[in-house]
Each structure stands twice: as C-alpha cells, then as structure tokens.
Amino acid sequence: MALKDLFITKAEPVITPTDVSASLAPVSTIEALYNFYGTGLTATRAEFMSVPTCARARNIICSSVAGIPLEVRTKADGKEVEAPPRVISQPDPRIPGAATYAFLAEDLLLYGYGYLRILEIYADTYRIRSAERIAPTRVTITTNSLGTEIDYYMVDGYRVPDSGVGALAVFYGNDEGILHRAGRTIKAGAELERAATMYAREPVPTMVLKSNGTALPADRIAKLLESWGAARRNRGTAFLNADVTLETLGFDPEKLQLNQARSYVATELARATGIPAFYVDAESGSSMTYSNVNSQRESLIDFSLRPIMTSIEERLSMTGMPNDFVPASQEVRFDLDDFLRGSAMERAQIYEILNRIGVLSVDEIKKKEDMVSE
C-alpha cells in the first residue's frame, strides 16, 4: 500500500433496496428479457418445428407431460383429494386440459416461461376458477430502472391487471429456453433441411446452361430452364444441341456430406432438448425392447420431463399469491403410476406383496387396475 492511499477516502458502495411490494416478480436472467422484448431470439418456433428431430422431441416431451394426470393431495397426510378443482385438470373450459398443458409445456421448453391468463375467480376465496394459455410471444414486461424487477405485464401491448380476472399466472422454467440456449444449432438444422429440399427438387449439382450462339431474350431463357427442369424430373438422360452447353458448379449432396451433417445436428439437438437420442432416432444401433421400456421411461422422466413437470407442479401449488389454484393445505402433483407401470406379471407380484402385508386391499387393487368390483 502506498503512503498516499492512507489519505484517500474510498466511497462506500450504494446498495439500492428492492421494493418487493411494488414488484410482481424478479427478472431471472438478462437472457429472459429478450423473450419479453421480442429481440435476441436466435431461433424461432417455426425454425424449431421445421427440423424433424426438434418436432419429434417436442411432441414426445409435451404430449407425455400433457398425458400424465394431475392430482391434488393434502400436505399433512398425502391423501388424494377426491373432488379437486376443475381448473387443475381443465384450466380452459373451452378446450381439453391436455391441449392446454401440451402448449404450456412447449412454452417452458422453448421460451423458458409459460402463461395462463385468468378468466374466472371464485367470489369467496378469490382462487382461480378458469384460465387460458397465452403465447409467450404476446407477452411483454415493464421493469424497474435496473431491469431486475418486473413492475407489470402487458399482453398484445396492453397492460394487464396485477391480480384478479385478466391477470397472468406465470410459470417459470429452469433456463432461458431452447430457442435462446440452442438457437444456432436449431438454425443449422433448419438450413440443412432447406438444403436437402433443394437437392431433392434438383438432385444434381448446380447447373448452368450456356448459350454458344447469340444472347437469348428473357422469355426464351425462362422457357428453356422450365423445360429443362421438367425433363430432369422425368428422365435421367439429357440431350443438348450444339447451341447450348451444360456446366456444373458446386458439389453434389454426397460430397457435401448432407446426411452426415444432418445426423450430427440431430444428435446435438437431442442433447439440447434433453431427450435420449434414440427417442428421436438420432443415433443408429439403438433399440427399445419390452424388457427395458420401463427404465427408458424413467430416463425420459428424469432427464426430459421432470424440469417441465416440476415447474407446472410448483406454480399450481404456490400459495400466498394474489390468486392461487389450490388452498395452502393442498399441493398438486403429477400421478406417474400409470406412466411407469410395469408388465401385468410385475404388477401382480407387487400387488400380492402389498396385499399380504396389509398395505392394499383387494378392492383397492381392483380400483388401480380399473377392474369393476363385484
């Protein structure tokens, strides 16, 4: 330390207090703001769905989440509530609940956020009675001066209420969404699909028809190219007279290694979505047999479905919000019993043990197996 440093007064850092009461929610990451403001998206949903690997991964993940039933349980003893609120199984009364949850899961996967706009609330408890899904691309926010806290939300450019009918129930994902996180890889996959389409349309190297005589007018050139393209789609052999010469430019698909490139990008996209590669046929030599199907489903839940399921479960179970879905004494969870159920022999062995030790009665076993008790 130099002598002059002893006489220099260092300014203390100014800590600006956060007005939590005036804030709806914190901004998780800087990348999350790109989602709201409509900039910074390195890939679009259209590009994502144009890649077969992405489309299949989305359908497997989102359809699986939507197909697993939700149940309401009491926190004290874990007992299932016999008559849960309808909003849990069917948020929007106009469409099936599976459709709402499929697109809500897609929003969490692609954008890192999901939204339900409140349509109705109960007059006595103020809990949510019905809600509709709102696409994240329709939602924008206004933050404080530091960009760290959300002051209010807007849908289609109009401010929505902070609570009550018209307000948003926000579902938070675990990251900024795959469109941000793997946008370049998605764009690469989309470009490879465009290249494959181009070479499927004209399955030869890029060609130039060169006139050896006088310059042809534009209409004659257009007719010549049209007739050439039509002939190549019907015949593999071509004939040229002395006035026209064929020259080729570029490389054919084999030299460009389109198949290898598409296979590589498919594997990378499977990694980005968090789904095992064999689920989207992104790797060769893998197979799913009856003996390992249960372990494969467990892997699918652990590495692909669990983050999205947890986000949905936690928001539906949140209490202390201006508008809740369930009372503070209850929680919402996905029922994985049917999804992970084993073969009939395995279930029979488990039921036999549980019945012998008094855990399940015969009637309870029949109920689990959808058998009518006589």
Q: State the pLDDT at residue 148.
A: 81
Q: How far apart are CA 282 and CA 190, in angstroms?
A: 16
- The answer to whether 149 and 27 are in contact (CB under 8 A) is yes
Mean pLDDT of the chain: 78
**Lowest-pLDDT range, 145-159, 302-316, 355-369?**
355-369
Higher-confidence position of 324 and 254? 324
Supply the pLDDT for residue 97: 93
Tell me the CA distances in angstroms from 236 to 202, 239, 268, one per residue in order.
12, 10, 36
The answer to whether the CB of 270 falls within 8 A of the CB of 216 is no
- The domain limits of the chain are 18-203+252-341, 206-249, 342-374
Residue 293 clears pLDDT 70, i.e. is over it: no
- pLDDT attached to residue 264: 79
For residues 344 and 68, which has the higher predicted lDDT (pLDDT)? 68
Tally the residues of the chain. Answer: 374
CATH class of the structural domain 206-249: alpha beta
Please report which confidence band the pLDDT of residue 372 belongs to, taking 50, 70 and 90 as the band edges.
Answer: low
Residue 348: pLDDT band (50, 70, 90) is confident
In the block, tokens 């002939």 appear at 231
pLDDT at 1 over 60: no
Query: What are the residues whose beta carbons fall under 8 Å from the beta carbon of 287, sequence distance 6 or more?
Result: 278
User: What pTM was estimated for this model as a whole?
Assistant: 0.72
pLDDT at position 200 = 67
* 256-292 pLDDT per residue, tens: 556 677 777 888 888 888 888 787 776 554 554 444 6
